[in-house]
A = this chain, B = another copy of it.
Amino acid sequence: MPTLRDVARAAGVSTTTASDALAGRGRITAATRERIAAAARDLGYLPNLAARNLRRGRTGAIGLRVPERTAGLTYYMELAIGAAERAHAEDAALTLLPTGSPPRPGLHVDGVVVADPALGDPGVAALAAAGLPVVTCERDLTPGAAHAGTVESDHAATAVRLLDHLAARGARRTAVLAPGTETAYGHDLRAAHERWCAERSVPPLVRDVGLASDPVVVAGAVAELLGSAEPPDALLVVPDGSATPALEAVRARGLHPPGDLLFAAYADGPVLRALQVTAVDLAAREMGRRLAGLLLDVLAGRRPPGTREVLPLQLVERASSAR
């Protein structure tokens, strides 16, 4: 493995100059810079990250913390892959943090990406208290929580677009199965829905089924809604993985979307694609890329702490809400 000294020797300069040239620092003539770059290329030089990190006093890794209960969701896997991609582009490693339980004190990371922080999660507070820059996927609703950055999905606008879509297809009474408000995801969705209803003077029809949806609870909520005196003519099922049990429950009553009932879900995925259910593309990979990018930028001082970013989402219209 060639080292920086080898590159410097090959280019006829000192290690300092080679280091500066490759990093774009210092004052160096274009010619010298080019000679060094060529030497590095020829030798196949790759910086030793351990040495760099030691010198810089960094670990060279960023952590990713996903909520334990829902860790298995495809969304987080895609998010993780995106974050890893972005981190690699800057020679940083992405470390999956053992979620659950407060993180051990000597965490070897320079900063942490926290996916969907729950309201008052002590683990997140511990990370921040340890002086680690924290970037969250969706806002941290915990009072007083001020993190290094946040990337939020545009749930409010998307929820409105989805409700509009259903209304345009003839829905007069849309029921929403939503996660709780302990997470910004659920909070924003509900708020948007309530505002939408208020603007139209329609009473909001919502059922709380939790973020990590229990299929039995979902099925129960659907059955209760459809069996009520004024049953809804459209169903929006938000929590990931709850579309299947909801659809089951709908069919169990002999109803078939989209004819008998408009049906839509939220977090898109292979299952919804297969079931031909209208949903929202949450752009998980892009979210991961942006999260890692934001954290890395804050760490490098390229962006100020406290930066917020909004990720637009895309509505995917399918047969379940086509009329």
Residues of A that sit less than 8 Å from B by CB: 44, 46, 48-51, 53-54, 58-61, 71-74, 76-78, 80-81, 84-85, 88, 91, 93-99, 105-106, 108, 215, 218, 241, 244-245, 248, 251, 269-271, 273-275
Question: B residues within 8 A CB of A80?
Answer: 77, 80, 96
Residue in contact with A54 in the complex, picked from B50, B93, B98, B244, CB distance below 8 Å = B50
Residue in contact with A78 in the complex, picked from B61, B72, B78, B275, CB distance below 8 Å = B72
CA distance A50 to B96 in the complex (A): 18
Copies of this polypeptide in the complex: 2
Question: Assuming the A-B contacts A54-B48, A241-B270, are A73 and B77 also in contact, with contact meaning beta carbons closer than 8 angstroms in the complex?
Answer: yes
Question: Assuming the A-B contacts A76-B77, A93-B61, A270-B241, are A105 and B53 also in contact, with contact meaning beta carbons closer than 8 angstroms in the complex?
Answer: no
Please give the distance in Å from A81's CB to the nearest CB on chain B: 6
Residue in contact with A74 in the complex, picked from B49, B72, B91, B106, CB distance below 8 Å = B72
CA distance A96 to B80 in the complex (A): 8
CA distance A248 to B47 in the complex (A): 54
Question: Assuming the A-B contacts A73-B74, A93-B61, are A105 and B241 also in contact, with contact meaning beta carbons closer than 8 angstroms in the complex?
Answer: no
Question: B residues within 8 A CB of A44?
Answer: 105-106
